[in-house]
Amino acid sequence: MITDPIFYRLFETSPETFFLVLGMPADLAADSAARYEYKALEFKETSHRVDGVFLPKEAGLPLYILEVQFYHLPSVYADLLTKVYTYLKQHDPGQSFCGVVLFASRHLEPKEKELAPYQALMDAGLIRRFYLEEMPELANAPLGLSILYLIRQTEEKAPAMARELVARARVEIEDEALRADLIELIETVIIYKLARFSREEIQIMLQVHDIRETRVYQEAKEEGLKEGIEKGVAIVNLAAKKKSAAEIAAILGVDIELVRQVLTQVEHG
């Protein structure tokens, strides 16, 4: 399962979910999310990529750097600290921080003997680790956290849970753009989990509409721009994989302004 795009979109769309993972109550998580800006960064000089950075909007708050780990990597904590200290060196050496690693399961964590160099930082709360499969499933969990539960769900149970989440999104989320983003994210999770099914089959399964039924697609269709429509779908799919506008333009061989225009239109429904 390809997790990076999913987690990026989850925390971008529902940033309070990260603070719920840290164990904060829902009200405090929502308040904390409003005080941070979420980004995925790449340090050009080192080619190090960070799954997520929560940048404080006000003084006195720690910087959070997140790594999502779905395979065994002995150097995961060393890699995390490399990214933390690279960020501090390039931006603010005096910034307080907390490094967070979200493992799919505990068995993916480095062996005990490999933890020794980092134990002091863990004891001080500067490195925190969480295990997705061990997270307690809270009753009446916020939608973002429920989508996180969906990621760990079995193939047999995931479709029913996804349908329930889609129904919740339609009822609970008043903002049309946010509701569409969350429903598309739920669909994306299921596409990765049930790779043997086509997108069309999954959309029928979840009772959701294709991107080709959005306003931007319909307007293009009315103008007879079939080729442009297909490129628009490809642009959105690559954007969901966290490709930059420049990368998408290079991959598809289109003008970067077209990429930006399509993404802007989709963003606004």
Instruction: Please tell me the distance from the alpha carbon of residue 144 to that of residue 152, in angstroms, as a whole number.
Output: 14
Q: Provide the mean pLDDT of the chain.
A: 84
Does residue 239 form part of some domain? yes
Does residue 144 form part of some domain? no
pLDDT of residue 47: 59
Domain that holds residue 160: 153-209
- The answer to whether residues 49 and 4 touch, using CB atoms and an 8 Å cutoff, is no
- The answer to whether residues 83 and 50 touch, using CB atoms and an 8 Å cutoff, is yes
pLDDT of residue 210: 52
End-to-end Cα, the chain, rounded Å: 28
One domain for residues 216 and 200? no
Q: Which two tokens stand for residue 206?
A: 């979840």
Instruction: Please tell me the distance from the alpha carbon of residue 7 to that of residue 27, in angstroms, as a whole number.
Output: 22
pLDDT of residue 60: 93
The model's confidence at residue 256, banded by pLDDT at 50, 70 and 90, is confident
The model's confidence at residue 169, banded by pLDDT at 50, 70 and 90, is very high
The residue-averaged pLDDT of 78-96 equals 93
Percent of the chain topping pLDDT 70: 85
pLDDT of residue 269: 53
Residue (of 170, 142, 132, 172) closest to 6 by Cα position: 132
The model's confidence at residue 37, banded by pLDDT at 50, 70 and 90, is very high
One domain for residues 11 and 108? yes
User: Range with the lowest mean pLDDT among 76-80, 128-132, 221-225, 237-241?
Assistant: 221-225
Does residue 15 form part of some domain? yes
Q: What is the pLDDT of residues 5-32, one digit of tens each?
A: 788 889 999 999 999 999 999 999 999 9
One domain for residues 113 and 197? no
Does residue 139 form part of some domain? no
One domain for residues 217 and 245? yes
Cα 73–133–38 angle (5° rounding)?
A: 70
How many domains is the chain partitioned into structurally? 3
The CA–CA distances, whole Å, from 231 to 146, 177, 236 equal 32, 22, 9
One domain for residues 221 and 239? yes
One domain for residues 98 and 185? no
pLDDT of residue 238: 79
Q: pTM for the full model?
A: 0.72
User: Range with the lowest mean pLDDT among 65-69, 84-88, 144-148, 203-207?
Assistant: 203-207
Which residue would you say has higher pLDDT here, 161 or 48?
161
One domain for residues 8 and 126? yes
Does residue 148 form part of some domain? no
Q: Using the CB atoms, write b or e for 176-193: b if 16+ within 10 Å.
A: eeebbbbbbbbbbbbbeb
pLDDT of residue 212: 47
Q: What is the pLDDT of residues 219-229, one digit of tens each?
A: 444 544 445 55
Cα 20–25–27 angle (5° rounding)?
A: 100
Q: Which CATH number fits the domain that encloses residue 16? A: 3.40.1350
One domain for residues 191 and 226? no
Instruction: Please tell me the distance from the alpha carbon of residue 185 to that of residue 236, in angstroms, as a whole number.
Output: 13
Does residue 140 form part of some domain? no
Which residue would you say has higher pLDDT here, 210 or 106?
106
Does residue 147 form part of some domain? no
Does residue 146 form part of some domain? no
